[in-house]
Amino acid sequence: VSQSRYIIALHIASTILGESLSSRFNQNLVEKQTPAGFNMLGTGQYEFKLGNVFFIQGNFNTPDAPLALNEVTTELTAFLTDKPITQAEFDRTIKKAKVDFATGIETTSGLADLVGESLTVFGSVEAFTHYLPILEGLTLADVQQAAQQYLQPQLAFTAVLGSEKALAEKPTLVAA
């Protein structure tokens, strides 16, 4: 699978996991108000010449940061193992990506942003011109494989921001 294909597959996985109101994180950890009390939890991805950064960010109300991190890790692990992407989630997200692409090129500035990103990150306009054919050729298995390969919790780095007092109360919390 080409680099562009993996990036697009990870974007689809990111949208399903945490980039929309119907995402897994929003439905299972924000809307259900788990013990961590998330008021926002989402995912995203930045593409760079030297590689991508996939991130999960959130705000939670509990002073127990390890509890909140455990809830996120549990949901991510389920996404990668016993509760994989469904066909309905995949189909809905592919449709959303097509709409987002179409609306992104409706203006001169939107078109310039997408072409500029393609030139900057990939060195050519091919990432832009081949986006829709790649998106339409993706399968649910491609997206699940990319997620399993790149979203491994044991490879993550964790940062928790908070008051010195709150963080001092949990001295076992360190970057993973």
* Helix, strand, coil % over all residues of the chain, rounded to 5: 60, 10, 30
CA angle 24, 28, 30 (to 5 degrees): 105
Joined tokens for residue 35 = 């013990």
- Taking each continuous run of H as one helix and of E as one strand, the counts in the chain are 9, 2
CB 60 within 8 A of CB 30: no
Q: For the whole model, what pTM was predicted?
A: 0.86
| Interval 60-114: pLDDT, tens | 888 788 888 999 999 999 999 999 999 999 999 999 999 999 999 999 999 999 9
CA distance 29 to 43: 13
Looking at residue 34, what is its pLDDT? 82
3-state secondary structure of 62: coil
Contact 143, 112 (CB under 8 A): no
Integer CA distances (angstroms), 142 to 5, 53, 129, 165, in order: 9, 19, 20, 44
pLDDT of residue 40 exceeding 80, the answer is yes
Say which residues have a Cβ less than 8 Å from residue 176's Cβ, sequence separation at least 6.
154, 156, 157, 158
Task: Please say if the pLDDT value at position 4 is more than 90.
Answer: no
Q: Spell out the residues 6+ positions from residue 47 whose beta carbon is closer than 8 angstroms to its own.
A: 7, 117, 121
Residue predicted with more confidence, 144 or 53: 144
pLDDT given for residue 122 in this prediction: 83
Nearest to 60 by CA among 76, 42, 45: 42
Helices 3-18 + 140-150 axis angle, to 10: 90
